[in-house]
Chains A and B, each alone.
Chain A
Amino acid sequence: MEHTPILNSLDPEMMEPILSRRDAIAKGATASSKVVAALALGSIPIALGALAKDVYGQTPADVLDVLQFALTLEYLEAEFYTRGVAGSGLIPAADVTIFTNIRNHENTHVTALQGIITGKGATPVAKPTFDFTAKGALAGFSFSSGQYATFQALAQAFEDTGVRAYKGQAGRLINDKAVLTAALTIHSVEARHASEVRRLRGLKGWITGSSRDDLPSFTQPIYDGEDNVTQAGLNISGLGSGNGGTAGVTEAFDEPLTKAQVLAIAAPFLA
């Protein structure tokens, strides 16, 4: 469970959105008209930012915290794929379309989240400096020719983590429908990425039990807990009979990670 100190709500950053919303209301500028205008311009990030302003009243600290957390993860993925696609001789020609597509999505997610955060009157967190050798666990990895296997393994690790990370935060967004829906539509795209990368590596697109398959041992926390068979408080392991057994039951449900669990997984990649 996440605990957010009450004092967070007194963060000076919080005053700006309140004042700017009051200002907007006073001027008679409806946020919905900004949404329409932004969509007319074809800019999803701008539209998302405007949508954020549709939620009048206090911006819960929880929502901003989730957004900043998500942005940090998207920075990680965006830089990873940007460097991967740019890496000379790294990705075989046949697979370039796949990773270029994923790179584009992650970059768009970064821009969109920044837009939502800005729209709520806060300042997006800065992009961290990343270490894709995972503090030496993948010594020598530098997006170079001949390192495609490592690149793919990392891609799987990041995508499977991303799915679990967003899922674990959804509950904190339950009272902000616009952000919840935006986050969910990113969440399922990360799952599409995960499935594609896993299948590209010869694995199933879904996670069986808590298996990390052939990934290095330091990635095990990414899969711990995926073997859960209790859903909505009910043990459903019996439903596997005739339906793939316990393996099928665990594959049928992806599991969440807490923010703390995700940050621990991400820690080796933060320089």
Chain B
Amino acid sequence: MARSTESMTVSSTAQFWEKSTRRDFMRLMGIGGAVVMLPTLFTSCSDSSNDTTGPGTGATVTIDFSKGDVAVLQFAYALEQLEADFYTRVVAGFSGSGLSSSEQTIFTDIKNHEVIHREALKTVLGTSNGFTLTPTYPGVSFTSRTSILATSSAFEELGVAAYNGAAQYLSDANNLLVAGKIVSVEARHASAIADLISPKSSAFAPSSFDNAYSPAKVAGAAQGFITDKLAFANPPAAFVQGPNNNG
């Protein structure tokens, strides 16, 4: 990243989610600097999805935090919809994905888990489950092993941080337990995918503490993959940071 010449290069969607990238992006946009988006970000619609509309251009889906635990579960349901859809597409496209046989076994498992998470939350929410998000994958190539792994990693890391950060807004210990049961499976996924990307390195667990992100921060990242406009009503006023202090 060439800060001295006031330009930056964004080569993957995952990179957008890195704090330093966003910081530089916002700084450069603020001072009229040059930002280069590599083609992988925008030119692979043909093999990424059928969506013709961009993130956040559709109908507004509002999660109202005045509903307490229900809102947190709806938020989780939204994320699980995204994950389940992504892995379903990955599994459907195995033949051209470049993923090895053993990797396909892992992705099939993860797809199963995420669909089950989505459906379980839908069931738990009952009459409060009435929204279906339309995902979109700008820059993601489902025919690229590298792109699939990078996007999977981004989703899993975001999922872990989302649950860890949203747990503080749950008031019913039974709901907290369900969230805890899901987040550790997401962490197992994150570990496995990180190890596929960078085998036997420290990547499977890059920090002594996982991240805990505020719902607003998570929504900001997830919005890049959702056609609907994700909105919060009565968002929580306070967020208690985790040890990494980056939520």
Interface residue ranges, A against B (CB under 8 Å): 39, 44, 47-48, 94-95, 97-98, 101-102, 104-105, 108-109, 112, 163, 166-167, 170-171, 174, 177-178, 180-182, 184-196, 199, 204-206, 231-234, 236, 239-240, 243-244, 248-249, 251-256
Interface size class of B (residues with CB under 8 A): 35 or more
Task: How many A-B residue pairs have C-beta atoms within 8 angstroms? Tell me.
Answer: 208
**Contacting residues, chain A, for B116 (C-beta < 8 A):** 236, 239-240, 243-244, 248-249, 252
* Chain A, Cβ-Cβ closest to B114: A252
What separation, in Å, do the CA atoms of A151 and B185 have in the docked complex? 24
What separation, in Å, do the CA atoms of A257 and B172 have in the docked complex? 18
Interface residue ranges, B against A (CB under 8 Å): 106, 108-109, 111-113, 115-117, 119-120, 123-124, 160, 163-165, 167-168, 170-171, 173-178, 180-192, 195, 200-202, 204-205, 207-212, 240-245
Q: Could you tell me if A108 and B208 are in contact, using CB atoms closer than 8 angstroms?
A: yes
> Given A231-B124, A244-B112, A248-B116, A189 and B208 touching (CB < 8 A)?
yes
> Given A174-B170, A244-B109, A194 and B240 touching (CB < 8 A)?
no
Contact of B208 among A47, A94, A104, A191 (CB under 8 A): A104
What separation, in Å, do the CA atoms of A141 and B200 have in the docked complex? 25
Extra inter-chain contacts (17) besides given A163-B184, A231-B124, A252-B117, CB under 8 Å = A101-B205, A167-B184, A171-B177, A174-B173, A181-B167, A182-B209, A184-B210, A185-B209, A188-B163, A194-B191, A205-B192, A206-B185, A231-B181, A232-B120, A236-B123, A243-B111, A254-B181
Q: List 8 A-B contacts (CB under 8 A).
A: A170-B167, A182-B243, A188-B186, A191-B185, A205-B188, A239-B119, A243-B111, A252-B120
Q: B150 to nearest A CB, angstroms?
A: 18
Would you call the interface of chain B mostly helix, strand, loop, or mixed?
A: helix
**Contacting residues, chain B, for A199 (C-beta < 8 A):** 191-192, 195
> Given A231-B124, A253-B185, A255-B181, A97 and B208 touching (CB < 8 A)?
no
What separation, in Å, do the CA atoms of A43 and B116 have in the docked complex? 39
Contact of B180 among A44, A95, A187, A206 (CB under 8 A): A187
* Chain A, Cβ-Cβ closest to B125: A232
Q: Could you tell me if B176 and A174 are in contact, using CB atoms closer than 8 angstroms?
A: yes
Q: Could you tell me if A204 and B109 are in contact, using CB atoms closer than 8 angstroms?
A: yes
**Contacting residues, chain B, for A195 (C-beta < 8 A):** 187-189, 191-192, 204
Q: B148 to nearest A CB, angstroms?
A: 17
What separation, in Å, do the CA atoms of A145 and B71 have in the docked complex? 53
What separation, in Å, do the CA atoms of A196 and B199 have in the docked complex? 10
Q: A223 to nearest B CB, angstroms?
A: 14
